[in-house]
Structure 1
Amino acid sequence: MRIGVVFPQTELGADVGAVRAYGQRVEELGFRHVLAYDHVVGADPAVHQGWDGPYDVRTTFHEPMVLFGYLAALTSLELVTGIIILPQRQTALVAKQAAEVDLLTTGRFRLGVGLGWNQVEYEALGQDFSTRGKRIDEQVALLRRLWTESSLTFEGTFDRVTGAGLAPLPVQRPIPVWFGAQSPPAYRRAGRLADGWFPQMSPGPKLDEAKAMVAEAATQAGRDPATLGMEGRVSWTGDAEELREAARRWQESGATHVAINTMRAGLRSVDEHLAALETAADALEVRKAD
């Protein structure tokens, strides 16, 4: 099981030095990958009365693809979007950005995608929130063609490409596409289309049910469920033994990857985040695992 970290998007602010220090120290500690969340704009609760989303206009987010271009020059970590909200973005542009990150990391990139929940953000990006489920199916098919064919023609419901292609193509052909999933339709979509998926719950009966739906959908699509990756997430609470137990449960549940999340743990600086991750690295013996 490969062990990585969740980049603390909402707690490092605009401090570029903190981004650099974080990426370099995470690699020194022996973690294998960095996963970053995605939001382009935040909603202003003063305008959107009754706003109850987990993030708003004051919550800081670096743009993942640009962030990864920076980290690719500083580290040899695998870089993972967890997740890019794909239907609110232009498909060909995402394909181009992903191909570039894949080149800059020499093939150490996973594109995690999902539908998102923020209608305000869809509006700001000029996309239809109501068709996002149908659109993502088409987008994934087009992404894979753009990453593997030097020239293609594609006519779908939402996208059209006529005799065009990316240059240069990525190292990975195609780049692995992982899905965020937290509902039965999303589990089935992951089983049909994904190279791996990110459960939004802890190991237990609900995860077992979700895994069964993913596996059934994969089988029905003529795919081997055993080839799909699964990345769990463990939140840092300050208790190393609790962290070890949570990681063990993920491994027993069949996770191929796990990410340690230090956000919302009361940590006030990049140094505190890194100190927590140093304790986590020791507890999980990530250097030995490497």
Structure 2
Amino acid sequence: MITLRLGAIFPHNEIGAAPEAIKTWATAVEDLGYHHIMAFDHVLGAGTRNRPGWRGYTSADAFHEIFILFGYLAAVTTSTELVTGVLVLPQRQTALVAKQAAEVDVLSKGRLRLGVGVGWNDVEYEALGQDFTTRGRRAEEQVEVLRALWATPEVTFEGRWHSIQDAGINPRPVRGSIPVWFGGHSEATLQRVGRLGDGWLPLVKPGPQAKDMLRRVHEAAQQAGRDPHTIGIEAKVSLSTGSMEDQLSFVDGWRELGATHVTVETHGMGLTLREHVALLQETAKTFQRHGDR
């Protein structure tokens, strides 16, 4: 049985703004043996007064700025991987993302994994001065620029959306690069994962649909001359729905499809800090017993 790397999702909306609470949660996660911490990314929440029927996060939902949060987590943890799940890449300036990500990687001694996606909230794109309609195509060029800036002291790049003339970031990542995983399950995303991604963050249940999506990822990888089995897969399981038996079945389903990571989600359950930690402790023990069978 494949040993999955187990992670925990940072409870943005419930943990509050106290640094002590964030430190307590993060160090508890590390002490419990979780391999990684995943955090979501939203810069702005939409006000609902003039948006009847709005679905999704709003201005009332709290989100810590992801790179600054990870800078803090890098200081209060020692071994836990830090994962953006996902950074809405096309609504951000690419060179600035390269700089911020490299800094987190340096401060954490090489513990950053960058999960990226194109997002769904046009309100954020508008406020940040970015084009919502070209976000998928821009994301591909962005990843190319990120990798160039991480790998080389000086970069010259001319693309459709980027122009860099003999410039670079310093410091650069510890490993000379940072793993880039793509989140989502649209056809365009599956093609990007296969051609460009170090991994995939799917948002579907294991089963025939997921198996077919994975087949398309592998085909895209082979067409790009890549070994599809080098592409990681990370499933996300919510502890707010179903029984523990259902959740273990979900994990086993993804394990059979070749998943390398699984992340458990407690945020959104209305728990206190103590309750979040207690549930993560119980879950870690249950998953370990299940994996050792």
* TM-score, length-scaled by structure 2: 0.94
Separation in 1, partners of 2:223, 2:53? 42
**Residue 10 of structure 2: which of 7, 10, 26 is its match?**
7
Stretch moving more, 12-21 or 236-245: 236-245
1:199-246 C-alpha deviation (Å, 9 max, x unpaired): 001111111011011111111111111110000011114844433333
Contact kept? 1:109, 1:175, Cα under 8 Å:
yes
The runs of 5 or more residues in structure 2 that have no matched partner are none
Matched, 1:172 2:175: yes
Aligned to 1:36: 39
Stretch moving more, 14-23 or 87-96: 14-23
Where does 1:191-230 land on structure 2 (aligned, <5 Å)? 191-230=194-233
Matched, 1:118 2:129: no
Which residue identity does 1:69 align to in structure 2? G
Separation in 1, partners of 2:22, 2:39? 12
Which residue identity does 1:253 align to in structure 2? L
Which residue identity does 2:29 align to in structure 1? V
Deviation at 1:25, TM superposition (A): 0.2
What secondary structure does 1:46 align onto? coil
Which residue identity does 2:61 align to in structure 1? T
1:235-285 C-alpha deviation (Å, 9 max, x unpaired): 114844433333222212210100011123x33211111111010011012
What secondary structure does 2:156 align onto? strand
The count of corresponding residues between Structure 1 and Structure 2 is: 286
Aligned to 2:29: 26
Separation in 2, partners of 1:15, 1:81? 21
Separation in 1, partners of 2:59, 2:172? 36
Contact kept? 1:241, 1:283, Cα under 8 Å:
no
Which residue identity does 1:22 align to in structure 2? W
Separation in 2, partners of 1:24, 1:243? 25
CA RMSD of aligned residues (A): 1.5
Separation in 2, partners of 1:168, 1:96? 8
Matched, 1:70 2:72: yes
Matched, 1:253 2:251: no
Matched, 1:88 2:109: no
Aligned to 2:20: 17
Aligned to 2:153: 150
- Displacement over 6 Å in runs of 4+: none
Separation in 2, partners of 1:246, 1:130? 34
Contact kept? 1:267, 1:273, Cα under 8 Å:
no
Separation in 2, partners of 1:216, 1:43? 38
Matched, 1:277 2:280: yes
1:165-213 C-alpha deviation (Å, 9 max, x unpaired): 0111111222100000221111111111110010001111111011011
Deviation at 1:67, TM superposition (A): 0.4
Separation in 2, partners of 1:247, 1:240? 11
Aligned to 1:60: 62
Which residue identity does 1:50 align to in structure 2? G
Separation in 2, partners of 1:279, 1:240? 11
Separation in 1, partners of 2:125, 2:142? 16
The runs of 5 or more residues in structure 1 that have no matched partner are none
Separation in 1, partners of 2:243, 2:27? 24
What secondary structure does 1:285 align onto? helix
Aligned to 1:102: 105
Which residue identity does 2:249 align to in structure 1? E
Instruction: Give percent identity, aligned residues only.
Output: 51
Separation in 2, partners of 1:182, 1:13? 31
1:145-169 C-alpha deviation (Å, 9 max, x unpaired): 0000000111111111111001111
